[in-house]
Amino acid sequence: MTSANTAGNSAQDSAGNGTDKGAKQAISIRLMEEKDYPQVQAILQTGMDTGEATFEENAPEAWEDFMRHRLPELSFVAIDTDPAAAQAAGLGDDGEKILGWITATSASHRDVFDGVLEDSIYVHKDAAGKGVAGNLLDRLLKDAADQGHWAMHSSIFPENEGSVRLHLSRGFEQVGIFHCMSHMNYGPKKGKWRHNMVMEKILEGGPAWEYYQQNLEHSKDDAAGE
């Protein structure tokens, strides 16, 4: 789902907030590095523990396992620009407090689907509702299009309303729902059947954008003529 990228991944924050409720958080966004993984892992596990992020139960122990299917050139972290935040978090004078992260994986191993990606977003609980998830998703969508990709997918638990709102706000559309995708055997949703919503965005400026827009216009004309 979008909040964890394996059996289930869909972009969201770990608190389930996809809309901005408070003051915007001052951040900088950069590529994710191996040194970031302890904080990335902690944010990931917090999201997993909610039962609304992914079908997975535990974050990978090793950086290499975490990045095995993720694209390094499309993996980003959001950094708190206030130096005091790192000190308060016990990260030292040269440390950086990570407020959230986003990654992309290929939706399929087949070459013909090479331009189709799936996102995964998690935000630190301290930054929920402050625009961090939106800024991360904006960066991912722009860079993905610039690098020649043409579509972004997101798989989301329908109950994760924050993630759904976040993606809708960035132009994603609901493609459908896989019903009874899993019967959970761990965590707060143990014993429950879970559905999985699939959302999609054709990337503006990507290779498929012009064709997609033309196809939309033809569809509207056909509908008007019925």
Domain map (residue ranges) of the chain = 27-225
Longest CA–CA separation in the chain, Å: 66
Amino acid at 213: Q
pLDDT of residue 101: 98
Task: Outline where DSSP puts E strands in 92-226.
Answer: 98-106, 116-123, 151-156, 173-183, 193-202
Three-state DSSP state, 99: strand
- What are the tokens at 18? 């996809």
Strands 116-123 and 151-156: parallel
Please answer whether residues 12 and 163 qualify as being in contact, where contact means their C-beta atoms are separated by less than 8 angstroms. yes
Please answer whether residues 94 and 111 qualify as being in contact, where contact means their C-beta atoms are separated by less than 8 angstroms. no
Which residues, given as ranges, of the chain have pLDDT below 70? 1-23, 51, 86-87, 89-90, 92-94, 217-226
Alpha-carbon distance 150 to 72, whole Å?
18
pLDDT of residue 3: 46
Which class for 141: exposed (0-12), middle (13-18), buried (19 or more C-beta within 10 A)? buried
- What are the tokens at 45? 């596990």
**CA torsion angle 53 54 59 65 (round to 10):** -130
Q: Residue length, the chain?
A: 226
pLDDT of residue 26: 85
pTM of the model: 0.83
CATH 3.40.630.30 fits 27-225, yes or no: yes
